[in-house]
């Protein structure tokens, strides 16, 4: 959903149904892996549009509504590879790193308005994106994770719930890494 018109329609629908927006979780993610020299322009654009542009557009439109409420929580789901890079994922890595930097800027812009903007940066999580990996690759990844396992959806969602709560009203512009110790900032 990287079309400004689609985003405005979604926000309008949400306001009609729920009357306000308190929390926005930007969890869009796609990957089209290829070595940078072989990456087609369309592969770059698709990943940037879905992962980064949609996050910006949804945040921008939700913030307009949050300002009226004088309250908001935005949590952006990034990725470990936005901090480390990864073979064949220059587009994906750039999109996820861009989310972190954008989140810091939004956090600075709206902190005084009681709107927090944070990131959750998962490592390798059991999901559709990792289900196609050969067992040998999963074993190699697991061997690099101090907790010796891939994460699961609850590992990520518990962190998102924490950052979405009133408990974290003094936390903004931060990234929490949920990766079993594979990457420590």
Residues labelled as active-site residues = 92
Question: CA–CA separation, 56 vs 59, rounded Å?
Answer: 5
117 forms beta bridges with 74
Judge contact between 32 and 6, C-beta under 8 A.
no
Judge contact between 119 and 95, C-beta under 8 A.
no
């Amino acid at each position: 959903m990287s079309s400004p018109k689609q985003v405005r329609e979604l926000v309008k629908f949400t306001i009609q149904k729920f009357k306000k927006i308190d929390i926005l979780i930007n969890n869009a993610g796609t990957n089209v892996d290829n070595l940078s020299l072989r990456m087609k322009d369309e592969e770059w654009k698709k990943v940037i549009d879905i992962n980064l542009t949609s996050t910006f557009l949804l945040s921008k439109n939700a913030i307009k509504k949050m300002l009226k409420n004088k309250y908001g929580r935005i949590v952006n789901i990034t990725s470990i590879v936005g901090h480390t890079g990864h073979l064949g994922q220059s587009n994906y890595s750039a999109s996820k790193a861009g989310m972190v930097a954008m989140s810091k800027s939004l956090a600075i812009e709206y902190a005084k308005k009681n709107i927090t903007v944070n990131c959750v940066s998962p490592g390798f999580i059991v999901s559709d994106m990792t289900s196609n990996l050969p067992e040998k690759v999963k074993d190699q990844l697991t061997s690099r994770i101090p907790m010796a396992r891939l994460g699961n959806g609850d590992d990520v969602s518990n962190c998102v719930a924490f950052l979405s709560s009133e408990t974290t009203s003094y936390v903004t512009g931060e990234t929490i890494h949920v990766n079993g110790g594979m990457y420590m900032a």
